[in-house]
Amino acid sequence: MEVIKTKKTFKKFDYKKSNKLFERAVEVIPNGIYGHFSPAPLVPVSAYPFYIESAEGSKITDVDGNEFIDYMCGYGPMVAGYKNQQIEKAVLEQYKKVDTATGAPEVMVELAEELVNTITIADWAFFAKNGNDVTSYALMATREHTQRKKIIRLKGGYHGTHPWTQSPDHPGIMFDDAENIIMGKWNDIDDLKRIIKENKNKIAGLISSPYHHTIFFDNEMPDDGYWQEVEKICKEEGIVLIIDEVRTGFRININGANETFGFKPDLICYSKAMANGYPISALVGTNEIKSSVSKVFYTGSFWFSAVPMVASLETIKYLKANNGVEKMHQYGKKMEDGLVQLANKHGYDLKVTGHPAMPYYRITDDPTLKLHQRWCAECTQRGAYFTSHHNWFMSTAHTEEDLKLTLDIADDAFNALKL
């Protein structure tokens, strides 16, 4: 790729309206904006908008009228572009018919069939709203299936915010909440064997993302043979293998990230990208565990809403018809090549880890992250929304024009670091 040579400069954004809205928000909402959208991890906060007015394609526009190429994609859900015509058309038609009603919608069956036909290990699908709904359901089903208590999860892994997913030193979490959770280590087979030996016939399941996409740290791919060994051990020990694809789902491999890494889990959790921004999650699994899943009572007021199901069905169809995963992979790789070259040109080492469709970037020249935070902030204030603590997300809506503009912005931002 040819790196942009012309010196283009960009006017930096300001966020007056966002800031005023936030001042109102803190009066009536705990933290103003809570959870993963909290401005707190954005460094410096002054470089980022808080409130979004509109979005289309790959771009978001904040309440101050600043337009950004969105490389967070709503922290994952937007996969086929904001206001994707095919998806929005189907959504609108469903809205006209029914959304939440007394009874399940017809599309629920179609969506389950689509997931079973798409995800290689799936014999069935169960629907909820958020990722945490299905990671927690997976644990309940696993315990019912094995009649065992303990669950292995890996240090640095993220599976939501329910008490079992958090460390007991966090506010609102008790030691009791983690009583049956054993912390393992990513890519460490010996550690897994030790845990199993120390808890013989007590471990119900192991939950992990398909690769290690922690925040603040370089992401790690599985070592050669890692997943195959984990799968073998789990089978031998009667441990249910649960893969949390809430973040990776439909970006790494449409048939399941496990196909990319060559193994077969028993259960997979999906949400985020599965409906291009509409609220839905799914647990899919094999027939071996289906009857246990059926026994566990689990539901929610809005889990039968038809609109998100239609959105999901159309999203999956759209991704398949447009080679969506491959497109995101290619865009991510081109961007990686361009940004790394630009960084080199300016004398920096930009390290990229994780999958090209959801890469984690870090300027290694300053291990404190201060330099990387400055660069991400300078890019964001010029219109390429980059976070410094979290992996980014590609979508099928990102275009060659977006890429060119992104590289121009990044070039100008690298120049700004020297001021």
Partner 1 sequence: MSIEEKIKAGVNLYAVIKNIEQLVILDPEIKELVKNWNISIEFRVKNGPVASVRFKDGSCDVKRGKFDKTNVVLFFMSEAHLNKMFDGNANPIPLKGFTKLGFLDKEFSKVTDKLEYYLKPTPELLEDSNYLKINTIFTLTTAVNALPVIMEFDPKAKLTGSHLTKGSLFINVENGPNAFINTDTNYIEVTEGNSETATCEMIIKDISIANKFFSGGVDIFSALAKQDIKIVGQTYLLDNIGLILDRIPIYVN
Contacting residue, 3, 12, 22, 116, with partner 1 by CB under 8 A: 22
> Going residue by residue from 356 to 375, which x/- string records binding to partner 1, judged by CB under 8 A?
-----------xxxx--x--
- Residue count, binding to partner 1 (CB under 8 A): 32
To partner 1, the closest distance from the beta carbon of 29 in angstroms equals: 9
Residues 135-194 that bind partner 1 (CB under 8 A): 167-171, 175
CA distances to 137, 244, 291 from 267, rounded to whole Å, are 10, 9, 13
Is the CB of residue 295 less than 8 Å from the CB of residue 144? yes
Residue 411: its H or E element = helix 400-417
**What's the min distance (Å) between Cβ of 30 and partner 1?**
8
For partner 1, the binding residue among 8, 34, 56, 95 (CB under 8 A) is 34
Residue 41 in contact with partner 1, rule: CB under 8 A: yes
Stretch that binds partner 1, among 23-31, 251-259, 268-276, 308-316 (CB under 8 A): 23-31
Q: Which is nearer to partner 1, 19 or 255 (CB)?
A: 19
- 224 binds partner 1, rule: CB under 8 A: no
CA torsion 311-314-318-321 (nearest 10°) is: 170
DSSP SS3 for 391: coil
Segment 244 to 273, residues that bind partner 1, using CB under 8 A: none
Q: How far is the CB of 155 from partner 1 (least distance, A)?
A: 9
Residue reference for tokens 């994609």: 73
If we measure between CA atoms, which residue out of 58, 244, 59 comes closest to residue 158?
Answer: 244
Please report how close the Cβ of residue 271 comes to partner 1 at its closest, in angstroms: 24
Region from 30-38, 77-85, 242-250, 326-334 binding partner 1, contact rule CB under 8 A: 30-38
Out of 40, 92, 104, 109, point to the residue binding partner 1 (CB under 8 A): 40
Q: Which is nearer to partner 1, 89 or 370 (CB)?
A: 370
Closest CA to 36 of 387, 297, 320: 387
35 class by beta-carbon count within 10 Å (0-12 exposed, 13-18 middle, 19+ buried): exposed
In this complex, which beta carbon is closest to partner 1, that of residue 62 or of residue 402?
A: 62
Looking at the Cβ atoms of 169 and 236, the one nearer to partner 1 is 169
Which region, judged by CB under 8 A, interacts with partner 1, from 29-37, 305-313, 314-322, 341-349? 29-37
Nearer residue to partner 1 within complex by CB, 15 or 303: 15
- Sketch the per residue contact string, 198 through 217, with partner 1: x for CB under 8 A, - otherwise: -----------------xx-
Minimum CB distance to partner 1, residue 370 (Å): 5
Quick one: 83 or 389, whose CB is closer to partner 1? 389
CA gap 46, 192 in Å, rounded: 43
Contact positions with partner 1 (CB under 8 A) in 383-402: 389
Sign for the CA dihedral angle at 95, 100, 105, 111 comes to positive
Nearer to partner 1, 19 or 199 (CB): 19
Contacts of 386 (CB under 8 A, 6+ apart): 71, 361, 375, 376, 379, 380, 392
What type of residue sits at position 311? A
Distance in Å, CB of 124 to partner 1, minimum: 38
DSSP 150-219: EEEEETT----SSGGGS-TTSTT--GGGGTTEEEE-TT-HHHHHHHHHHTTTTEEEEEE-SSB--SSS--
* E strand intervals along 38-175: 52-56, 59-62, 67-70, 124-128, 150-154
Closer CB to partner 1, residue 45 or residue 233?
45
What is the 8-class DSSP label of residue 418?
Answer: T
Q: How far apart are CA 76 and CA 209, in angstroms?
A: 15
C-beta separation of 250 from 79 below 8 A? yes
Residues in the chain, overall count: 419
Per rule CB under 8 A, is residue 21 in the interface with partner 1?
Answer: no
Could you tell me the CA-to-CA distances from 215 to 3, 170, 248, 387 in Å, in that order?
29, 17, 14, 11
For the bound state, the minimum distance from the C-beta of residue 176 to partner 1, rounded and expressed in Å, comes to: 12
**Rounded least distance, CB 25 to partner 1, Å:** 9
Cβ closest to partner 1, residue 136 vs residue 373:
373
Residue numbers at the binding site for partner 1 (CB under 8 A): 19, 22-23, 26, 30-34, 38-41, 43-46, 50, 167-171, 175, 215-216, 367-370, 373, 389
